[in-house]
Chain A
Amino acid sequence: MSAPILELQGLSKRFASRLDLAERIAKALGARVEEYDVQAVSDVSLAVAEGEVVGLVGESGCGKSTLARMVAGILPPSAGTLRWRGRALAELPAEERRRANLAVQMVFQDPMASLNPRLRIGEIIGEAPRFHGIVGAGEAEDYVAGIMRLVGLDPAYSRRYPHQFSGGQRQRVGIARALAVKPDFLVCDESVAALDVSIQAQIINLFMRLREELRLTYLFISHDLGVVEHISDRTVIMYLGRVVEAAPTPELFAAPNHPYARALLAESPRIDTRKRAFAPIKGEIPSPLAPPPGCTFHPRCPHAMERCRREAPALREIAPGRLSACHLNDVT
C-alpha cells in the first residue's frame, strides 16, 4: 500500500457549552439548564491510501458527520492530528494549508440545503475557482461548462437557480462545485441518502466514474450498508464516537467481528430476504451526552461480560488489515 494521502491520528471532537451569567442565574432559581459536554468523536485514527474508497458506517450519534467535517476542514478538531500527504495540517504554512484544504472537498447530504438558493448554478460552481485564481475571469464560463459536462449536466442550464432542478440534478451540481477546485479527495456525507432509488444508482455510478477519471480518493459516509459494500474498498464502522471495526470490505461483510457490526449487518433489510422474522438487538442507541462506561456497546451487547462494563476495549489488529475493538477477541 502506498503512503497514505490522508491520515487521522487520535482525532477527537467535543462540543461543550458553558452557561452564561443569565443562564446561571436561571439555574440558581431552579430552571433546568445544564452545561453539557459531548464527546462527538473520540480518538479516531485512520489512514486513507491514495485512490482508496473508505466507507464509513454508523447510526445517528456515532459521530460520522462530525468526523467528515473535521476531515473536510469545516470543523477544527479538539485533539489529534490530521496529516495531508504525510505532513500535519496544523503546522503547514498558510498558503500550503489553503491548498491542502482545497484538495479535500465535501459532497453533502441534502441537495437543496447545500446549494445557496440565491445564486445561479454557474455562479455556485464557478465562484471558488475564480476566487482562488484557478481560472481567470475570461475562461471561467468554459471551465464551468466543462465541469458541468463532466458530472452529466447540460451547460445550457448554468443560468438557472437550484430550485429549478430535480434532486438528482442538484446533487450533480453539488458534486460539480466540489470538483471545480480540482480536489484529490472527496468526503461524501450521506450524499445519496436523500435521493430516490433510481436516481441513487445514477449518482453512485457517477462517483465511481469520477474516481476512475480523476483518480479521486473517497471517504464515503452512509448508513446504507448495501451502498457502502458496493462502492468501498475498506469499511469502517463507528459507534458512539469510536471506531469499533475496520476491515477490507469483502472480509468485513463476509465475517464481521465486532458484535455491533454483526448486529448491523444482520438487521439491515436486504431485498433477497423473504418474510423473515426479525431478531433485533435490544435497547436504544445511548445519548452521546451520557455514554455508558467501559465499552459503549455493552448495554446492548448479547455477549457483554463484567470486563466490558469497566474497561473500554482498544482498537486492535485481529488479523492483517483487520481492526476490531472488542474484549471477546482477547478470550481465545
Chain B
Amino acid sequence: MNQDQPMKGQQIEAGAPLLRVEGLRTEFETRAGAVRAVDGVDLEIRRGEILGLVGESGSGKSVTGLSLLGLVDPPGRVGGRILFEGEDLARAGERRLRHIRGARIAMIFQDPMMTLNPVLSVETQMVEAVLAHARVTREEARRRSRDALARVGIPSPEERLRAYPHQFSGGMRQRVAIAIALLHAPALIIADEPTTALDVTIQAQILFEVQKLCRETGTALLWITHDLAVVSTLADRIAVMYAGRIVETGSVAEVIDTPRHPYTRGLINSVPSRNRRGQPLAQIPGMTPSLLDLPRGCAFRPRCPRAQEDCQEEPGLFGAGHRWRCFHPEPVPAMGPATEVRA
C-alpha cells in the first residue's frame, strides 16, 4: 500500500519536526516514595505523521501523553523540553497552555466522556469550544461544528448536533470527541487508547476516519496504545515504552519486522498470529516491574533472555533512525515476518 505523504501546501521543513520532546521526565510522590513514571523520553513527530506509542500498563505511555499537554496535576513534576512549533511547552504558563490545548493540540481519551459533558447538548459543547478560541459568530461556530461531525462520519449531523452524549452509542460518542478535537484544525492530536473500548467493526470505522483525516489535513497524530496490531496497521513510526523509557523506536517496518530490543521482540512473538496454531505462545517470563522497585541498569534485565553482566549498567540508545536501548540487541535477520515460530 502506498504511503501517502502529507498534502502539498503543508510545508515540511526537514529537521524541524512539529513536536520534539527531549529528556521528558515525570515524577509523582507516593506514600511509598517518589516514582518516575516517565524517565528521559525523547520523541519527534513531523507534520502529518502518525507515531504509535506502544507499551503495557505501567509503562508510562499515558503519563507521557498527559505530560506533553501539561495535564499532570501538581504533586506530579514534569521536566525536560517539549518543543512544539518552536515553543517550549514545559516552560509555558497555564494560560498559554490552555490556549495551545484548545487550538493547536487536541487530546482524545479512551473514555469519550472525559471530554463530553453529559448534561449539555453536543451543539452547546461544540459551539462553546469553537468560540473559546476563535472570534466568529455563533452561526459560524455552529456551521463549523456541523461540518466537523460530518467529517468524522456521523450521519445526519444537523440533527445529531442537538442530541445529548448519552443518546449516542460508544463508537458515535468517540466520533463526537474526535470531531471536537478537530474543531480548530489542530496541528497535533494526542490519542490515548481511543479505540480500545470499541468493537472490531466500529474500531475499523474510527481508524478509517482518522487515517483519512491525517492524510487530508496534515494533522500529526500521537497514538498511544497497548495494541501492536492497531499500531502496525495505522502508524508510520513506532516507539515502544517499558518502565518509563523508550526502549526502541523506528519505522513500523523496522520495529515490527526486525525488532532489536528483546522486549519488543518478545511482545511481537507473543501475538497469537505469530505462532503456530495450538502451540504454546512464545511468552515473556515474569511480569512488569513496579516503578518503585526498578532493577538497576536495564529495567528489562530480569525478564530478558539475552541479559549479561554489563546490563547492570544503564544502556543508551544505539542505532540511527531505527534506535534501540540495548547492549545485546537481537541480530538483524532474527526473524522474517510471520515465519519463525518458537514452540
30 contacts between A and B (CB under 8 A): A169-B287, A196-B226, A197-B56, A197-B228, A198-B266, A199-B56, A205-B283, A226-B229, A226-B271, A229-B277, A230-B273, A250-B277, A264-B200, A267-B200, A267-B204, A269-B232, A270-B233, A271-B229, A271-B268, A271-B271, A271-B273, A272-B273, A272-B338, A274-B1, A277-B208, A278-B204, A280-B201, A281-B204, A284-B202, A285-B199
* Residue of A167, A198, A205 contacting most chain B CB atoms (<10 Å): A198
The answer to whether B282 touches A271 (Cβ under 8 A) is no
CB distance from A136 to the nearest CB of B (A): 35
Q: If A269-B233, A271-B268 touch, does A284 touch B252 (CB 8 Å cutoff)?
A: no
The answer to whether B273 touches A279 (Cβ under 8 A) is no
Q: If A269-B229, A274-B233, A285-B201 touch, does A279 touch B208 (CB 8 Å cutoff)?
A: yes
Mask, B94-131, CB within 8 Å of A = 1, is 00000000000000000000000000000000000000
Q: Which of A167, A271, A278 contacts B256 (CB 8 A)?
A: A271
A33 CA / B248 CA spacing, docked (Å): 54
Total interface residues in chain B, CB < 8 Å: 52
Instruction: Kindly state whether residue A263 has any CB partner on chain B within 8 Å.
Output: yes
Given the complex, which residues of B lie within 8 Å of A284, measured CB to CB? 169, 171-172, 202
Given the complex, which residues of A lie within 8 Å of B272, measured CB to CB? 201, 204, 224, 226-227, 229-231
A202 CA / B278 CA spacing, docked (Å): 14
Instruction: Kindly state whether residue B217 has any CB partner on chain A within 8 Å.
Output: no
Smallest CB-CB A-B distances: 4 pairs: A201-B270, A230-B272, A267-B204, A278-B208
Given the complex, which residues of A lie within 8 Å of B284, measured CB to CB? 198, 201-202
Instruction: Kindly state whether residue A200 has any CB partner on chain B within 8 Å.
Output: yes
The answer to whether A209 touches B280 (Cβ under 8 A) is yes
The answer to whether A196 touches B288 (Cβ under 8 A) is yes
The answer to whether A278 touches B202 (Cβ under 8 A) is no
Given the complex, which residues of A lie within 8 Å of B172, measured CB to CB? 284
Given the complex, which residues of B lie within 8 Å of A279, measured CB to CB? 208
Given the complex, which residues of A lie within 8 Å of B283, measured CB to CB? 198, 201-202, 205
Instruction: Kindly state whether residue B308 has any CB partner on chain A within 8 Å.
Output: no
CB distance from B305 to the nearest CB of A (A): 13
Total interface residues in chain A, CB < 8 Å: 48
Instruction: Kindly state whether residue A60 has any CB partner on chain B within 8 Å.
Output: yes
Count how many pairs of residues, one from A and one from B, have CB atoms less than 8 Å apart in the complex: 149
The answer to whether A278 touches B207 (Cβ under 8 A) is yes
A272 CA / B256 CA spacing, docked (Å): 8
Instruction: Kindly state whether residue A18 has any CB partner on chain B within 8 Å.
Output: no
Instruction: Kindly state whether residue A329 has any CB partner on chain B within 8 Å.
Output: no
CB distance from A283 to the nearest CB of B (A): 9
Instruction: Kindly state whether residue B42 has any CB partner on chain A within 8 Å.
Output: no
CB-based nearest A residue for B230: A269
Given the complex, which residues of A lie within 8 Å of B280, measured CB to CB? 205, 208-209
CB-based nearest A residue for B58: A196
Q: If A196-B56, A198-B267, A200-B270 touch, does A281 touch B201 (CB 8 Å cutoff)?
A: yes
Residues of chain B touching chain A, judged by Cβ–Cβ distance below 8 Å, are 1, 3, 56-57, 169-172, 199-205, 207-208, 211, 226-230, 232-236, 252-253, 256, 266-268, 270-275, 277-278, 280-285, 287-288, 337-338
A199 CA / B208 CA spacing, docked (Å): 29
Instruction: Kindly state whether residue A168 has any CB partner on chain B within 8 Å.
Output: yes
The answer to whether A273 touches B204 (Cβ under 8 A) is no
Mask, A156-176, CB within 8 Å of B = 1, is 000000000011110000000
The answer to whether B267 touches A280 (Cβ under 8 A) is no
Instruction: Kindly state whether residue A223 has any CB partner on chain B within 8 Å.
Output: yes
Q: Which of B3, B56, B201, B287 contacts A263 (CB 8 A)?
A: B201
CB-based nearest A residue for B200: A268
Given contacts A227-B272, A274-B253, 8 further A-B contacts (CB under 8 A): A197-B267, A197-B270, A201-B282, A205-B281, A208-B278, A226-B273, A275-B234, A275-B235
CB-based nearest A residue for B277: A230
Mask, A132-158, CB within 8 Å of B = 1, is 000000000000000000000000000
Given the complex, which residues of B lie within 8 Å of A60, measured CB to CB? 170, 199
Given the complex, which residues of B lie within 8 Å of A23, measured CB to CB? none
The answer to whether B205 touches A280 (Cβ under 8 A) is yes
CB distance from A324 to the nearest CB of B (A): 18
A249 CA / B171 CA spacing, docked (Å): 29
